[in-house]
Structure 1
Amino acid sequence: MARRTKTEAAATREALLDAAEAIFLERGVARTSLEQIARQAGMTRGAVYWHFRNKADLFQAMLQRVRMPFQELVEEIGDPSLAERPLEAIRQACQRGFERLELPRYRRVHAILLHHCETFAEIDPLAMQNEMADDALGALRDYFLCAAHLGQLREDTSPEIAARLMQAMLSGLFHDWLRNHERYALREHGMSLVEAQLRLLMRSSPPFR
């Protein structure tokens, strides 16, 4: 019975997060109440407070479901040879990130964070975006630094500049695609940009496999 209760509680929590996604995307975060989220999920407001302290807590939980730190994307690839091929690690991590963002939940939540969330109360979308951007920048800097040590990065480009160029391109791509995701396929378009930029940053430019 206890196991069933725990499973049911987890299902209730997921249903509330699903409902929050739908309404946040439609109405915006500031204009959405916990009562509306509860009704969307077919539950009472008490059920919301059982799982979340407030709307900010619920928003953070929704965001955590789609977080994809750059280093974790590389680790998911599971290829030990990437330690000697840091630029290829960047390429494959970007590809995994694009594939993940094309999933409806990932696309919805990132669209909410970037385009449907105002700063209010305990929710600061800009701070959250900065945290994610800084995480990506730090990981990219480490990989480009490794590439420089291995003699794979252009001598006239520092790891810091290379990381900032890549991070700026990815950030602009995400914002553009999330405004209207039907304009083009993110993975196809994104990979063409990533590979072109990596070629410009390589000391030599062999074709990607």
Structure 2
Amino acid sequence: MARRTKAEAAATREALLDAAEEVFLEKGVARTSLEQIARHAGMTRGAVYWHFKNKADLFRALLERVRMPFEELVEEIDDPGLADAPLEAVRLACRLGFIRLEQPRYRRVHAILIHHCEVFGDIDPLAMQNEMAEESCGALQEYFTNAARLGQLRPDIPPEVAAQLLQSCLGGLFHDWLRNYEQFSILERGMELVNTLLRLVSAP
């Protein structure tokens, strides 16, 4: 019985997050109340407070469902040979990230963060975006540093510059795609850009 109750609680939490995703996308985060989310999920406001302290807590939980730490993407590829091929690890991790982003949930939640969220109470979308960007750039720099150590990076390009180049490329692509995701495939366009940039920074 306890196991079933735990499973039901988890299902309720997921249903509330699904409802929040839909309402935030339609109304924006600041203009959405917990009462509206509860109604959209067919539940009471008490159910929301049982799982989340406030709207900021719910919003962070929504983001957690779509976070893609770079190191975890590399681990998912599960190829021991990538330890000696850091630039290939970067390429494959970017590809996996693009595939994930084309899933509706990932696209919608990132669109909420970028285009439908204002500074409101404990919610600071710019701080959240900066945290994610810094985490990504830091991980990229480690891979480019390994590439330089292995003689795979152009000697005239410092690892931190290579990481910033790729991070800026990915950030621009991401924002362009979210504005009109039906205009192009982020997987196809993204891999064209990533492959080109990695060729440019690779040692001859």
What TM-score does the superposition give when structure 1 sets the normalisation length?
Answer: 0.97
> Which residue of structure 2 lines up, in the alignment, with residue 16 of structure 1?
16
Residue by residue over 1:135-169, the C-alpha shift from the partner in whole angstroms, topping out at 9 and shown as x without a partner, is 11001000000000111111111001000000000
Aligned runs of 1:65-76 on 2, under 5 Å?
A: 65-76=65-76
Provide the alpha-carbon RMSD of the alignment.
0.5
> Which residue of structure 2 lines up, in the alignment, with residue 104 of structure 1?
104
CA distance in 2, matches of 1:6, 1:153: 50
CA distance in 1, matches of 2:52, 2:144: 40
> Which residue of structure 1 lines up, in the alignment, with residue 123 of structure 2?
123
> Which residue of structure 2 lines up, in the alignment, with residue 151 of structure 1?
151
Residue by residue over 1:144-202, the C-alpha shift from the partner in whole angstroms, topping out at 9 and shown as x without a partner, is 00000111111111001000000000011111101111000110110000000000001
Secondary structure in structure 2 of the residue aligned to 1:43: coil
Shift of 1:102: 0.4
State the AA in 2 paired with 1:117.
C
> Which residue of structure 1 lines up, in the alignment, with residue 136 of structure 2?
136
Unaligned segments of structure 1, at least 5 residues: 205-209
State the AA in 1 paired with 2:53.
R
Shift of 1:4: 1.2
Identity of aligned residues (%): 72
Aligned runs of 1:74-113 on 2, under 5 Å?
A: 74-113=74-113
CA distance in 2, matches of 1:71, 1:135: 10
> Which residue of structure 1 lines up, in the alignment, with residue 58 of structure 2?
58
Secondary structure in structure 2 of the residue aligned to 1:67: coil
Secondary structure in structure 2 of the residue aligned to 1:19: helix
CA distance in 2, matches of 1:52, 1:19: 14
CA distance in 1, matches of 2:177, 2:52: 31
CA distance in 2, matches of 1:49, 1:151: 54
Shift of 1:91: 0.1
Shift of 1:120: 1.1
Unaligned segments of structure 2, at least 5 residues: none
Instruction: Give the ranges of 4+ consecutive aligned residues of structure 1 lying more than 6 Å apart after TM superposition.
Output: none
Shift of 1:3: 1.3
| Number of aligned residues | 204
> Which residue of structure 2 lines up, in the alignment, with residue 39 of structure 1?
39
> Which residue of structure 2 lines up, in the alignment, with residue 195 of structure 1?
195
Shift of 1:112: 0.4
